[in-house]
Structure 1
Amino acid sequence: MTGDGVALTFLAMALPFAAALLAPVAVRRLGANAAWFIALVPLAIFIHLLRFVPEIAGGEVVTGGYAWVPSLNLSFSWFLDGLSLTFALLITGIGALIVLYSGGYLKGHPQQGRFLSFILMFMGSMLGVVMSDSFLMLFVFWELTSITSFLLIGFDHEREASRRAALQALVVTGGGGLALLAGLIFIWNITGTTQLSLLVHADDILRQSPFYMAALFLVLGGAFTKSAQFPFHFWLPNAMEAPTPVSAYLHSATMVKAGVYLLMRLNPVMGATPAWEILLPFFGGITLLVGALLAIRQTDLKLMLAYTTVASLGLLVLLTGFGSAYAVEAAVLYLVAHSLFKGALFMVAGLIDHEAGTRDVTKLGGLRAAMPVTFAAALLAAISMAGLPPFFGFLAKEEIYAALAGSGPRSVVFTLAAIIGNALMFAIAFAVALKPFLGRKVETPKHAHEGPALLWLGPLALALGGLAAAVFSGAWHWAVSSPMASAVSGVTKNVTISLEPHIGLPLALSGITVILGVLVYLGLSRARQAMERLLDILGPGPDRGFDVFIRGLVRFAFGVTRIIQNGRLDVYVTFTFALLALVLLIPLFAFDELPKMPAWPDDVHFHELALFAIAVIGLAAVLRSKDRLTAIVSLGIQGFAVAVIYLLFGAPDLSFTQFMVETLSVVILALVMTRLRLSPADHRTLIERVVDGGIAIACGLGFSLLLLKASQVPFDTALTDFFNTYSKVIAHGANVVNVIIVDFRGTDTLGEISVVMITGLAILALIRIRVTPVAAGQKSVAAIEAENAGREKTP
């Protein structure tokens, strides 16, 4: 990529975040017209990305970026091939329509600017996920999608249901993100690469590694949570508490497909193994059936579509891992078709709610005359979702059956799962598209009428997009389907399916699906009642289990906190030093690292022994002191004795530091203690003295043994040589110690100075505290505490 191309692509990735900062200002200044202006941002990115279509369709890839930490092989880099480019076009193209839709849906809302800002931040995060080349970038943007979706799902934060749904989505997808991070670290260590563009050429290194299964399970944890695979499927329908533009964008066309994107991206290096071809179809098949069956139970239009989204994600995961000749092509076609028709249907559901005042399908009917454009968009999108010609959904369904159908037991089982799932989704598609519009007119909470252009432009454009992609399938496959399938499979693929008649088993299976779908649609009320009875028998599902898990986690955290954070400083200090003693002593004894005891030197002078004796006398004075002030002053005797010892052994700078620290310590302690009574000593039981004394001796012994051991190790002069060599050259200082503190450890020294300053301010605040006189007839705090203590002692 040329320098201009690199700069423009970097700008395209950063532009949504910049626009997010300006969105609230644009809404305040432009009002209802702000959406048209803000939509230019994703539209501009979409147009920029379209420039890469001919190059990538020709079999090339586009890479670029900047080296960040070259020594660790970390970079801010991007990677565009058929897979990432298709996702990026969907994110920006649908994103532009969602921004327009949001402008009409939230018209007049006081927080419309904040909402559009969140949408743009999510758009930038999702764009980063699919364009990232480095593992670090992928993980950062992956977690940003979780954070921004949390903000969007909980947009209506005054409602408890919205807050719960947002927290649930964040916990599930954020936890999966941590699993993904661990999986990426495994892959990094196995292959030695941190870039996806290099990883796809890593041959069988990953598959043949003994750590392949560990990496696979961790990656699947991240992908399954993000793409709502069973048993993590429950968060997606609950996320429908978000405003409808969020549902149409995040939870049908973009975020929930991030997990599918990850699996497709890693298919060339982690696929084609027994574990991959067992786990993905198994969990994908279960998710397909669970989502489709639960959709039948719903009466809320958004929930009906949400559960079919779960089913569709399961179908995509099933196809990604199935491993047959046409499975990848089927997954590619269905992913694009699903983004188009499901985004349109979600916007239709929101439009109905906006104009009629309800989303309950049992309370809707006869809206066709009042909302003709909405009805047309809903019908066109439903035909594609049902897999009927001449829409792109038909091509995807035919390819699905061509990929799954076979004579083996495995093929039969997953083909049956696909037929049942597709038939149920067929019924839901037409339940959403027909029942609110046909039949007798039903009185709705609001007088229904056609919405403004901002609301119906998006669904109509996406529905017609599904028609155009099928009619012009040759050009579409050249630009989108074939490059994407080639990237997912790792070898060149040429997708050729079209609307031309193709008699065979896939068409027959499509016919069976349509018949079953019509039957379910006609008996939808009975099917809904049957699912209600079945769910009553099965009892609470994973959604209730999540609540139980969170309550248990909170109780556990509360119990642990009560033990380790009981509010008593003496307990904290005791445990801290006890743990310190264990850390010092256990390795020395467990690994036989005890030092050799030094021999008594022959040239010990009297004044040196006297200084050690003074330190010991100071220690005895501390232990035997009758009041706190004496203990504080006696503590300073030890410090001054140690400072003189440093001076005698040739460390004047260290001695000076010790003198200063000891003086300040005594003064600070004395100032703090002025707020207390200094005359009495603390009453301590014999057990307390033994325990505290034992811990103190253990800590002292541990430090002594460790220092002795360290002094007996051969001295490594590497750091000494480095500082002696570069202190004058780089820092222009002759005093090596000063250079280390000020230059090489400048940030650390600044931190130490800040700590001292904060401590000084705290001491100053304590000194300036004035005790408020107790008014007549009122009791002081001390008097109340004394009374309470007396009551506790009373039998």
Structure 2
Amino acid sequence: MIAYSAALTLLALFLPLVAAVLAPALINRLGYRASWLLALMPFLSFLHFLSFLPEIADGGEVTGGYAWVPSYNVSFSWYLDGLSLTFALLITGIGTLIVLYAGAYMKGHAQQGRFLAFLLLFMGAMLGLVMSDSFLMLFIYWELTSITSFLLIGFDHERQAARRAALQALVITGGGGLALLAGLILLWNVSGVTQLSMLLHVDNIVTTSPYYLAILLLILGGAFTKSAQFPFHVWLPNAMEAPTPVSAYLHSATMVKAGVYLLMRLQPVLGDTPAWQILLPFFGGITLIVGSVIAVRQTDLKLMLAYTTVASLGLMVMLTGFGSDHALAAAVLYLIAHSLFKGALFMVAGCLDHEAGSRDLTDLSGLKRAMPITFVASLLAGLSMAGLPPLFGFLAKEEIYAALYGGNLRALLFTGVAVIGNALMMVVGLALAFKPFLGRDAKSPATAHDGPALLWLGPLVLALVGLAAAVFSAPFHKAISSPMLSAVARKASVVEVSLVPHIGVPLALSVFTIALGLTLFLMLDRLRAGVAYLLNNLGPGPDEGFDRLMAGLVRASFRITNLIHGGRLDVYVTLTLILVAAAFLVPMAVFGEGPDWPSLPGHIELHEAAFLLIAVSGLYAVLRAANRLDAIVALGIQGFAISVIFLLFGAPDLSFTQFMIETLSVVILALAMTRLKLHPADHRPWPQVLLDGAVALACGTGLMLMLLKVTQVPFDPVLTAFFNTYSKTIAHGANVVNVIIVDFRGVDTLGEIAVVTVTGLAILALIRIRAPKLRPDAHQSGQKAETADAGGAP
């Protein structure tokens, strides 16, 4: 039964990916109606995860998976508790509605199949991210969300703005992903575990580690970039270049909340420290103010929603790091509320753009009669965003003020930040709820209407869920909110806030926020002008800074490339050999690891001395060669002499290999050099000769010292015994050296063969290159048509 449940969970995890593979073919055959079939797969996943609600609500956890790399304790495993289950339900539930919505919104688009494939792949990546138990699995899915979001944001790739936005999102979130990888590796080393479910049971090992601050900063780098915290927030508004279904899904339940999910998941491991409680509220509070202030300046519906998403993410990060149970409860409630009202409002913006022909707030009014269903959805979602009863956003706001208010300066500061941010977001919520639909003079086309059911179904369902969750708050908290809070806090916790207000400071702060928000809403035009004036006088922001950074990076890369790659092969070889010599000599000199000088043998046999003399003679012949061909031929003398020495000291296989290498090297070099002018001697100025000689001596000395050091280390016969024992019994070969090369190191040998083959092909291509002959008029001027040195004979 357990294996059957694990198989079903694995299937539910992969169903969106299966739908992504099928999407292009189904759309080509059935058109937009295929969206019903495609939406069925995430809906089945949603139903499967919904079946875990009773078990999770009772405090249970669901784990499973398969061994991936057992030797490194790496597995493909999943972990479901109140936090990951809530995210899984949001991803698959809202994802089902988004797929249906996209089917109608993208109807008739030539690339609808490709679009839905990207969207479903994105859904599968996000679902895998929140379900991951393995560190490696978490990172892979984390980066997959960045890649798929790049494809979705840049879907309309013919527009330069879309390409720029996609690249910006990929650079920022991808860079954060690398920081996350480093943080996870440090977590692994400090805690000794590779799974989140095990990490959550490790007591204070991480927070007491000397690497804690490095781990925290790296994890925050990943979370802040993904969840668009200041100053990394710029990619999120620019991501509005994507089609509206992408914006609705990305902002409500998926990528932008991945960072918040990670912070909530690791709160029991990294939280409750001064660094955590300073960095998260500080950056979260700044992001809340920046996002909400810029939001009221906008008139484009999607940009208004995008900047309020930035503000909302800042609020969630601020609450997660504030350091109290009430703050964690407020973060949980606001995350759920935001997912519901923001998904609905984005889809409403798409409906207005699709059916009324504009998403500019100043061009829309009087649409209540023409689009009544859209108006109801917008009204409910907008009021929830404004934090008004009887919507779920009101419950979240009440809990926020209950969590933040206190008598100390820190509490008062962040309470003030929350009041200002919520009031400004209320202005945007009311503007979205009323401005496009009320008013006597309809600026929108007379043909505006609600559109097909698939367009208004998603926003209406999400808006009604936000209403039902507030009205029936007790069962909703029992099934969703309390288990999620218990998972974040790692202790049994109960959320009790309801629509019945408790007289006190939180209610007073809510009333003050509403009054402030209404006042600002009534003077929205002047507020917008004032914010625009303020931002214009602040100068360029992080968005322009990103462009300057990328331009500077390109210029620096160009200059460094020109500096390092000047086009001279002799410089490349010299620098490479200098680094090789440094790698040998510098560590020995710095750490005092030089070898002991060996004692010279008392007696050298005549034939041994003869071959040593031949090697030295070969070296002298190379240095005194009259031309390049003589130098190449003389170059083989030392190699043959050393081969004989190998033979004399009992290594016939090595000797034979050396003979082959020396022979082939001389032959190949001679053949290659016949294409060049070989007769002139290699005359170099004395400074060049001294430099080359010094580099050669340094490399030779370093290699000699390294070999001496190696031979002075006590010999470990373990491998020798292993190969002697198993070469014949396993590989069925008596020649141990050949068996090692062909069988035990077969893949390595195959790689060496591939390298030699590729090198040979490159040499062949160079040999066959011929320089173009000179123009006929060159003959008239007395010049002869001839090939360059590298080109060979004409």
Q: Distance in 2 between matches of 1:204 and 1:708?
A: 48
| Code of the aligned partner of 1:569 | L
1:792 is matched with: none
Q: Is the 8 A contact 2:338 2:393 kept in 1?
A: yes
- 1:155-210: CA deviations, max 9, x gaps? 11111111111111111111111111122222222221111111111122222222
Distance 1:683 1:252, change over 3 A: farther
Partner of 1:727: 727
Q: Verify: 1:571 aligned to 2:571, yes or no.
A: yes
User: Residues 285 and 314 of structure 1 are in contact (CA less than 8 Å); yes or no, is this contact kept in structure 2?
Assistant: yes
Trace 1:112-511 onto structure 2 (pairs within 5 A).
Answer: 112-444=112-444, 447-511=447-511
The offset of 1:302, in angstroms, is 0.5
Partner of 2:630: 630
Q: Which residue of 2 aligns with 1:98?
A: 98
Partner of 1:697: 697
Residue 793 of structure 1 is matched in structure 2 by: none
Answer yes or no: is the 8 Å Cα contact 2:779–2:785 preserved in 1.
no
Residue matched to 1:709: 709
In the aligned structure 2, how far is the partner of 1:496 from the partner of 1:785? 93
The one-letter code of the counterpart of 1:133 is D
Does the 8 Å CA contact 1:253/1:342 hold for their aligned counterparts?
no
Q: Which amino acid aligns with 1:275?
A: A
2:576 is aligned with 1:588? no
Q: Distance in 2 between matches of 1:176 and 1:486?
A: 28
Deviations 1:214-258 (A, max 9, x none): 211111111111111112111111111111111111133211111
Higher mean C-alpha displacement, 41-50 vs 361-370: 361-370
Aligned in 2, Cα 1:326/1:685: closer, same or farther, shift over 3 Å? Answer: same
| Cα pair 2:391 2:466 within 8 Å, conserved | yes
Taking a change above 3 Å as real, the CA distance of residues 24 and 274 of structure 1, as seen in their structure-2 partners, is same
**Could you tell me which residue of structure 2 aligns to residue 540 of structure 1?**
540
Deviations 1:591-649 (A, max 9, x none): 22222333332331222222122222222222222222212111122221221111111
Task: Give the match for residue 792 of structure 2.
Answer: none
For each residue in 1:355-388, what CA deviation from the matched residue of structure 2 results, as whole angstroms up to 9, or x when unmatched?
2222111111122222222111111111111111
Summarize the alignment of residues 774-793 of structure 1 with structure 2, pairs less than 5 Å apart: 776-777=776-777
Return the TM-score normalized by structure 2: 0.96
Q: Distance in 2 between matches of 1:616 and 1:677?
A: 27
**1:775 Cα shift?**
5.9
Residue in 2 that maps onto 1:530? 530
Amino acid in the other structure paired with 1:2: I
CA distance in 2, matches of 1:184, 1:693: 48
For residues 268 and 297 of structure 2, the distance between their equivalents in structure 1, rounded to whole angstroms, comes to: 38
Offset from partner CA, 1:702-728 (integer Å, 9 cap, x none): 111111121122111122122223323
Offset at residue 539 of structure 1 (A): 1.2
Task: Give the AA of the match of 2:115.
Answer: F
Contact 1:284 1:316 in 2 (8 A): yes
For residues 436 and 618 of structure 1, what CA distance do their matches in structure 2 show?
91
Q: Distance in 2 between matches of 1:303 and 1:762?
A: 53
Task: Please state how far the C-alpha of 1:466 moved relative to its aligned partner.
Answer: 0.6
Offset at residue 450 of structure 1 (A) = 2.2
Q: Is residue 639 from structure 1 mapped to residue 635 from structure 2 by the alignment?
A: no
CA contact (8 A) 1:118 1:148 kept: yes
On the 8 A contact 2:383/2:433 being kept in 1, the answer is: no
Q: Counterparts in 2 of 1:552-567, with a 5 A limit?
A: 552-567=552-567
Q: Deviations over 1:295-320 (max 9, x none)?
A: 01111100101111011111111111
Deviation at 1:451, TM superposition (A): 1.8
Aligned counterparts of 1:612 and 1:286: Cα–Cα separation in 2: 75
Structure 2 vs 1, CA of residues 743 and 486 (structure 1 numbering), >3 Å: closer, same or farther?
same
Which residue is 2:654 aligned to?
Answer: 654
Letter in 2 for 1:649: F
Give the distance between the partners of 1:296 and 1:310, measured in 2 at CA: 13
- 1:55-134 matches, within 5 Å, as 55-134=55-134
Alpha-carbon spacing, 1:702–1:411, altered in 2? closer, same or farther (3 Å): same
Alpha carbons of structure 1 residues 199 and 247: separation in structure 2 relative to 1, 3 Å: same
What's the offset of the Cα at 1:71?
2.5
CA shift digits 1:738-784 (9 cap, x unpaired): 2211222111100111122223334444555566665633689x979
Structure 2 partner of 1:740: 740
Structure-2 separation of matches of 1:498 and 1:770? 84
Return 333-342 or 430-439, whichever deviates more.
430-439
Stretch moving more, 595-604 or 113-122: 595-604
Q: Which amino acid in 2 is paired with 1:585?
A: L
Equivalences for residues 506-521 of structure 1 within 5 A: 506-521=506-521
Q: How far is 1:683 from its partner?
A: 3.2
Tell me if the contact between 1:643 and 1:656 (Cα under 8 Å) persists in the aligned partners: yes
Is 1:17 matched up with 2:17?
Answer: yes
SS where residue 156 of structure 2 aligns?
Answer: coil
Letter aligned with residue 256 of structure 1: V
Q: 1:323 to 1:599 in 2, by over 3 A?
A: closer
Paired amino acid for 1:27: I
3-state SS in 2 of match to 1:9: helix
Structure 1 contact 299–360 (Cα < 8 Å) conserved: yes
Cα deviations by residue, 1:17-69 (Å, 9 ceiling, x for unpaired)? 23222211111111121211111111111111111111111111000011222
What CA deviation, in whole Å up to 9, does each residue of 1:548-577 have, x standing for no partner? 222222222222111112222111100000
Q: Distance in 2 between matches of 1:93 and 1:174?
A: 27
**Contact 1:23-1:114 at 8 Å conserved across structures:** yes
The answer on whether the counterparts of 1:358 and 1:445 sit within 8 Å (CA) in structure 2 is: no
Structural mapping, 1:613-628, within 5 Å: 613-628=613-628
Q: 1:773 to 1:287 in 2, by over 3 A?
A: closer
Q: What code does the residue aligned with 1:267 have?
A: Q
Corresponding residue number in structure 2 for 1:761: 761
Q: Counterparts of 2:10 and 2:788 in 1: how far apart (Å)?
A: 67
Greater shift, 189-198 or 335-344, is seen at 189-198
From the superposition, tell whether residues 783 and 276 of structure 1 become closer, same or farther in structure 2 (CA, over 3 Å): farther
Q: Do the aligned partners of 2:62 and 2:80 also contact (CA within 8 Å) in 1?
A: yes
Name the SS of the counterpart of 1:250 in structure 2.
helix
Q: Is the 8 A contact 1:357 1:446 kept in 2?
A: no
Question: C-alpha distance in 2, partners of 1:75/1:215?
Answer: 22
Q: CA deviation at 1:677?
A: 2.1
**How far 1:293 moved relative to its partner?**
0.6
CA separation of 1:415/1:737 partners in 2, compared to 1, >3 Å: closer, same or farther?
A: same
Number of equivalent positions? 788
Match for residue 46 of structure 1?
A: 46
Of stretches 294-303 and 767-776 in structure 1, the one that deviates more from structure 2 is: 767-776
Is the contact between residue 474 and residue 498 of structure 1 (CA under 8 Å) also seen in structure 2? yes
The one-letter code of the counterpart of 2:462 is: L
Per-residue CA deviations over 1:518-567 (Å, capped at 9, x if unaligned) read: 11111111001111111122111111111222222222222211111222
Identity %: 68
Return closer, same or farther for 1:382/1:703 CA change in 2, 3 Å cut-off.
same
> Does residue 718 of structure 1 match 2:718?
yes
Secondary structure in structure 1 of the residue aligned to 2:68 = strand
576-585 or 705-714: bigger deviation: 705-714
Q: C-alpha offsets along residues 264-322 of structure 1, whole Å, 9 cap, x if unaligned?
A: 11111221222222221121111111111110111110010111101111111111111
TM-score by length of 1: 0.96
The 8 Å contact of residues 177 and 222 in structure 1, kept in 2 or not, is answered as yes
Cα RMSD (Å): 2.2
Q: In 2, Cα distance between the equivalents of 1:773 and 1:329?
A: 80
Contact 2:772 2:787 in 1 (8 A): no
Q: Is the 8 A contact 2:627 2:680 kept in 1?
A: yes
- Structure 2: 5+ residue runs without aligned partners? 790-794
